[in-house]
Amino acid sequence: MTVDWYSFWIFTTLLMALTAATVVGQMLRRRTELGVNPAVVEQFNQRTRAWWMMTAMLAVGFLLETPVVTVVLFGFLSFWALREFITLTPTRTADHRTLFWVFIVFTPLQFYFVSTGNYEVFTVLIPVYAFLFIPARIALAGDYKRYLERSATIQTGLMICVYCLSHAPAMLYLQIPDYNEFRLLLFFFIVTALSDGFHYVCEKTMGRHLIAPAISQSKTWEGFLGGLGCAALCGLAFAWASPFDPLQAAVMAGVISAMGYCGGLTMSAIKRDRGVKDYGTLLAGHAGVLDRIDSICFAAPVFYHFTRYLVVP
């Protein structure tokens, strides 16, 4: 294996950042006299753990030099997120067979096509075939009560948890000349994680004007713009690891940050609608996967396509 120093350094950076986040999180947890809200600290630590897990998923694929492992691991993540989503949304008994297809056929099939690198198929499988199949199958079951609502919730779940998330491992199959695609995914991870962190810090320090008070009491314009600016700077700082020139990298990081923010806002709206605080408390004893990957879900497909327009010949 030829040593790819760029990949090595970006991996090291990510590991150092995660170690720092873990140390800070554990310190805040132990030193209660600092007066930081324990719930917030716990949330931060859970998020850090999720990032460790995703980095490990990427590292396994990277070390084995095969993206398939990463695709499979993301497939499981998707599956779990979809479980949480569908558990949260009300479906009726008549939707049972539809859900069976969604879980057992469409989800694995989507990740299978991602792993074959078949762009033409994996980008249309869910928006075309699954989206037509779902309402038809529900109609076939013969229960018309809240028909549109039921089709829409199942479609939304499949879209966010499976289709959008599958674009993260799909980045490994972009054919960028003279470039190791693992670095692209690492760049994406680093920018998303830091942007999440910056959003939070900016909201706590400068937050004044709420974006949508009815949906979230913590999301502010200051947090959004501050996070976006910081993320763009991060993009600039990590441009060496990306296939972009510095300006492009900054814009891309801004796009990731904005989309990630939209993801968080959308998930908050869904949670408000269903009257739960976070997906972790939905059914006691479960960790909320959806809470931690909301920003990735929204940022991944947009980042994927922008990269494709920009650098894939």
Residues 6+ apart with CB under 8 A from 86: 99, 102, 153, 154, 157
- Decide if 165 contacts 78 (C-beta within 8 A): yes
Give the whole-angstrom CA distance, residue 8 versus residue 293. 25
The sign of the dihedral angle between the CA atoms of 295, 55, 126, 122 is: positive
Nearest distance, CB of residue 107 and another protein, angstroms: 10
Question: Which range in 80-88, 159-167, 248-256, 264-272 contacts another protein by CB under 8 A?
Answer: 80-88
The first and second tokens of residue 95, run together, are 């939707």
Among 10, 41, 69, 86, binds another protein (CB under 8 A): 86
Q: Which is nearer to another protein, 197 or 288 (CB)?
A: 288
- Decide if 40 contacts 201 (C-beta within 8 A): no
Closest CA to 90 of 137, 145, 36: 145
Q: Which is nearer to another protein, 41 or 102 (CB)?
A: 102
Using CB under 8 A as the binding rule, whether residue 282 contacts another protein is answered as: yes
Using CB under 8 A as the binding rule, whether residue 274 contacts another protein is answered as: no
Closest CA to 176 of 239, 262, 243, 265: 243
- Decide if 309 contacts 63 (C-beta within 8 A): no
Q: Which is nearer to another protein, 2 or 93 (CB)?
A: 93
> Total residues at the site for another protein (CB under 8 A)?
17
Q: Which is nearer to another protein, 97 or 209 (CB)?
A: 97
Task: Calculate ∠ Cα 255-260-263, nearest 5°.
Answer: 130
Using CB under 8 A as the binding rule, whether residue 294 contacts another protein is answered as: no
Among 142, 284, 309, 313, binds another protein (CB under 8 A): 284
Using CB under 8 A as the binding rule, whether residue 34 contacts another protein is answered as: no
Q: Which is nearer to another protein, 130 or 228 (CB)?
A: 130
Q: Which is nearer to another protein, 99 or 269 (CB)?
A: 99
Nearest distance, CB of residue 199 and another protein, angstroms: 28
Using CB under 8 A as the binding rule, whether residue 283 contacts another protein is answered as: yes
φ/ψ of 146, rounded to 5, equals: 45, 45
Nearest distance, CB of residue 43 and another protein, angstroms: 19
Residue 286, phi-psi category: left (phi > 0), alpha (psi -120 to 50), beta (remainder): beta
Nearest distance, CB of residue 131 and another protein, angstroms: 19
Which amino acid is located at 19 in the chain?
Answer: T
> Longest C-alpha distance within the chain, in Å?
60
C-beta atoms surrounding 35 within 10 Å: 6
User: How far from chain centre, in Å, is Cα 234?
Assistant: 18
Nearest distance, CB of residue 169 and another protein, angstroms: 21
Among 87, 118, 175, 205, binds another protein (CB under 8 A): 87
Using CB under 8 A as the binding rule, whether residue 181 contacts another protein is answered as: no
Binding footprint of another protein on the chain (CB under 8 A): 79, 83-84, 86-87, 91, 93, 96-97, 99-100, 103, 282-286
